[in-house]
Amino acid sequence: MDTLLPIGELALRTGLSVKTIRAWSESGLVAPAARTGAGYRLYDADAAARLDLVRTLRELGLDLATIRKVLDRESTLAEVAAAHAEALEVSIRLQRRRHAVLTEVVRRGCDAEQTALLHRLAGLTGAERTRLVEDFLDSALGDAPELAGVVRSMTPEPPADPTRDQLLAWLEWAELAGDPDFRALLRRLAEEYVAEREPAGPPRPHLVARIRGLVTPALAAGIPPRSPEAAPVVRDLLALYGGAELRAELLARLKTLNDPRRQRHLELLARINGWPAPEPLAPVLDWVVGALS
């Protein structure tokens, strides 16, 4: 810009409104280089460059008072940018949580009470999340030494800056973890798990791994669970559990294991903690329950 420009022409060149340029001029952010005899403002190249900087900082979200400090060299641009970036990061996390809640409300068709619950769960502090997790683990698993590894594998540890998917998974996990029926289900499974390992009790190999090993080949071969070809597999299952007389006990236990909430819980933990997705157990258990029934 080699010549002085009136405010109207400057507005045309910059794409800003005359009203905005006038307001910034009157606030002292972008002073005119001169005035006409009639008192109209005229701007030079330096004023235009300053105007462009103000616009950039406004688009980045800085308020006019902060911009004035930068222009007057009371604060460096780097200092202001660092503080603003930190504040913006907090805002982004807040908006991400709100978006996750609204997404879940739409997906589930929540009523007002459910929406309020999701909003509360999304807004828990780090200490509140820790208390929720500890309360869930204590209620669902207890403190048996045999369950130390299980407790670690069932502890959600959302990162400080979770992704949208981790937030959605946390919301669903927290709601599921607060369900007394689900806690009772896990408590039952935990007690059975411990009983298998008590020296005084009957020997019980860990069911899931052994059953998967026996049944997966039958599934792969396409053997129907109620067919004659399934009989040897059923016989082996009963043998590893303790005999045919425990058929009803085994069937009841496998139905408990096959509760879809258990599989969903594992899937949510994997999403929250960034673990590989767990291999579905339902096809194996469906086959065994069908065969034993």
> Taking a C-beta distance cutoff of 8 angstroms, is the pair 60, 84 a contact?
yes
Say whether pLDDT at 277 is over 50: yes
Measured distance CA(182)–CA(204) in Å, rounded: 24
The per-residue pLDDT for 1 is 47
Tell me the mean pLDDT in the region 115-125. 83
Q: Average pLDDT in the 63-77 region?
A: 84
Q: What are phi and psi of 137, to 5 degrees?
A: -65, -40
Convert the pLDDT of each residue in 134-148 to its tens digit. Answer: 999 999 998 888 888
pLDDT for position 138: 94
Give me the residues paired with residue 5 across strands: 43
pLDDT at position 84 over 80 = no
User: Quick one: pLDDT band at residue 76, thresholds 50, 70, 90?
Assistant: confident
Is the pLDDT at 75 greater than 80, yes or no?
no
Q: What is the per-residue pLDDT for 125?
A: 84
Give me the pLDDT at residue 117, please.
80
- pLDDT at res. 203: 46
Q: Please name the residue that has the structure tokens 């207890």.
A: 142
Average of per-residue pLDDT across 86-110: 81
**Tokens 């400080």 identify what position?**
160
Q: Can you give the pLDDT at residue 107?
A: 84
Position 265 pLDDT exceeds 50: yes
Is the predicted pLDDT of residue 259 greater than 70, yes or no? yes
Query: In the predicted model, what is the mean pLDDT of residues 13-19?
Result: 89
Structural domains present in the chain = 5-74 (1.10.1660.10), 90-180 (no CATH), 186-292 (no CATH)
Return the higher-pLDDT residue of 180 and 48: 180
According to the model, what pLDDT value does residue 276 have? 95
Residue 225 pLDDT > 80: yes
The pLDDT of 166-187, averaged and rounded, is 93
pLDDT value of position 264: 95
Residues 6 or more apart in contact with residue 254 via CB below 8 angstroms: 207, 211, 285, 288, 289, 292
Angle between helices 247-257 and 207-220 (to 10 degrees): 90
What's the pLDDT score for residue 186?
Answer: 94
Q: CA of 54: how far to CAs of 57, 93, 113, 200, 212, in Å?
A: 5, 27, 45, 78, 66
Confidence (pLDDT) at 188: 92
Whether 31 shows a pLDDT value over 60: the answer reads yes
Instruction: Give the model's pLDDT for residue 198.
Output: 53
- Judge whether residue 199 has pLDDT over 60: no
* Mean pLDDT computed over every residue of the chain: 86
86-95, 174-183, 236-245, range with the lowest pLDDT: 86-95
